Every structure is written in structure tokens, then in C-alpha cells.
Amino acid sequence: MKIEAKTNSKRAVDDLWTDFAKVKRVSFYGQGTATVKVVTIAELFKRRCASENVRVHQVTKVDSPSPKPTDLLSLVTDAEEQKKEIPSLRVEIYAEGNE
């Protein structure tokens, strides 16, 4: 599930919980400023699991733009490409015993 900065956290947690009930695993991600929202949703989701006595594990992956060559020609030609590369955060939460 893609999370945006304007995503409603409560609704996202409810949607994730519905999916989790079916397959015992959820995955969601956000880019740029939405990474803060991803962390918030992950924490809220884990609290929901704890309140339902469901033990879960979390895997978090940060995808950041790859370093670019530092020569002047590369900096000039890759300027537009670098603007397009935005760091992202991906979270996967799964039920214990469902690895």
C-alpha cells in the first residue's frame, strides 16, 4: 500500500488491519515527506496488534538515492535525474510464526 503525506492514518491502519486479518502480513511504503507518516502508521498498527494480543515482527527498509559521480559533467547532466530520486521507506509487518 502506498502511503502519502495526506493519508488518513486511522483509515490506513483500519485498511491494513483488514488485509492483515486475511494473510497475516502487510506491506506499505512512502516516499519523501510521507516517510514520517509511514513510521506513524507502523507504530499505530503495532499498537493495534498488541491490543488484539497478536505478536508481530517488523522489517523496515530504507531506499535512498544512489550516490552520483562527482565530476562536473555528470553533475550537470544528472541534475534532473537527481531531483527525481526521492528516498523511500518500506515497512513489512507479519504475524509471529508467519515468516
CATH code (residue 9): 3.30.110.20
Nearest to 36 by CA among 97, 89, 79: 89
pTM: 0.78
Q: Is the pLDDT of residue 86 over 90?
A: no
The count of structural domains within the chain is: 1
What integer pLDDT is reported at residue 96 of this predicted model?
Answer: 86
What integer pLDDT is reported at residue 79 of this predicted model?
Answer: 55
pLDDT in tens, 37-85: 999 999 999 999 999 999 999 999 998 776 655 555 565 555 555 556 7
Provide the residue range defining the domain that includes 80.
2-95
Identity of residue 98: N
Question: Who contacts 76 (Cβ-Cβ below 8 Å, separation ≥6)?
Answer: none
